[in-house]
Structure 1
Amino acid sequence: MNENVVDILIYLYENYMDGEQAPPSDQHELRDELIQAGFPAGEIDKAFDWLDELANNDQSQHGDTNQSHSLRVFTAEETARLDVDSRGLLLFLEQNDILTVNARELVIDRALALDTAIITEEELKWIILLVLMNQPGQEAAFARMEDMVYNEVPMFLH
């Protein structure tokens, strides 16, 4: 089975984070459930670490800059790992007030934290959803992003 951390994050979101069902109270129980679902133990540990880092990331220490006047230049590593569609998605979401500057940076950080050579647009959508879910005051942006993920709303209007 070729499951990766993003697949585990999607599984956790769809089964527990959408508020319909509470996760097991013990991380070991959750880990056992994920193993029984067919996920490799090493990838489960990486997913838990990824979620812990997301929860511990304190974005309140950085003030949001004026989004309309900022320009994000991607580093060589970011360009190599985030495909063109992923970078376009980030720009689109920022221009449409779904991602703030800080949320965009957190998304990029969490995407690069994955042990994946290339982060696809579909994987990035899930990362964005998880980041927005953990950002206070971003409920409307989260709802818009969730709609885009589940209803396959066209991202770009031509």
Structure 2
Amino acid sequence: MMDILMYLFETYIHSEVELQVDQDTLSDELVRAGFHQSDIHKALNWLEKLAALQETAEQQPMQSGALTSMRVYTQDEVLRLDTHCRGFLLFLEQIHVLNTETREMVIDRVMELETTEFFLDDLKWVILMVLFNVPGHESAYHQMEDLLYEAEEGLLH
């Protein structure tokens, strides 16, 4: 499912392709690209839930200053998000790429992924997808995008 999400993100976000594609057309394209129908359905459902989170989210500007609380992770979250992932989320809060609302959106989307293995690189892509879909967080999205591409070049983590 992560492969489909990354494929869609890279194909439609970083291109001039029209973003308003109907689900059947998109599904057909993904089948032609070699993805399985059941995984496609799960990925499209995941994106629909992300859109729903976006609609209910308040537009909170990024705040400066120290963190006022610490996130306590559930046992299931700890199993999915290893110490590197949790540390990276905390780091992003400290540098104001994420706030508590966007962090919770990221964790929600991570926990909805049907995967047995989840790595820091996967988390970075989920964060990028969430930030792209939350109005008012364009600066945070660009900062995360810079962090992601710098990491791929070996400059961070």
Shorter-chain TM-score tier: 0.7 to 0.9
2:33 partner amino acid: A
> How far is the alpha carbon of 1:67 from its aligned partner?
6.1
> How far is the alpha carbon of 1:75 from its aligned partner?
1.1
For 1:48 and 1:14, locate their aligned partners in 2 and report how far apart those are by CA, in whole Å: 15
1:30 pairs with one of 26, 32, 53: 26
SS in 1 for 2:98: coil
1:40 partner amino acid: H
1:45 partner amino acid: H
- Structural RMSD (CA): 2.3
For 1:139 and 1:6, locate their aligned partners in 2 and report how far apart those are by CA, in whole Å: 23
Count the aligned residue pairs. 152
Alignment partner, residue 89 of structure 1:
88
For structure 2, the 5+ residue unaligned runs are none
Alignment partner, residue 147 of structure 1:
146
For structure 1, the 5+ residue unaligned runs are none
2:111 partner amino acid: L
For 2:155 and 2:69, locate their aligned partners in 1 and report how far apart those are by CA, in whole Å: 25
Of structures 1 and 2, the one with the larger relative CO (CA 8 A, separation 6+) is: 2
CA offsets 1:4-50 (integer angstroms, 9 cap, x no match): x1111110011102352224632111111111111111110000000
SS in 1 for 2:67: helix
TM-score when normalising by structure 1 = 0.87
> How far is the alpha carbon of 1:59 from its aligned partner?
2.0
Compared CA separation, residues 30 and 139, structure 1 to 2 (3 A): same
Alignment partner, residue 59 of structure 1:
57
For 1:35 and 1:44, locate their aligned partners in 2 and report how far apart those are by CA, in whole Å: 8
TM alignment of 1:100-119, pairs within 5 A? 100-119=99-118
For 1:134 and 1:30, locate their aligned partners in 2 and report how far apart those are by CA, in whole Å: 19
TM-score when normalising by structure 2 = 0.87
Percent identity for Structure 1 against Structure 2: 44
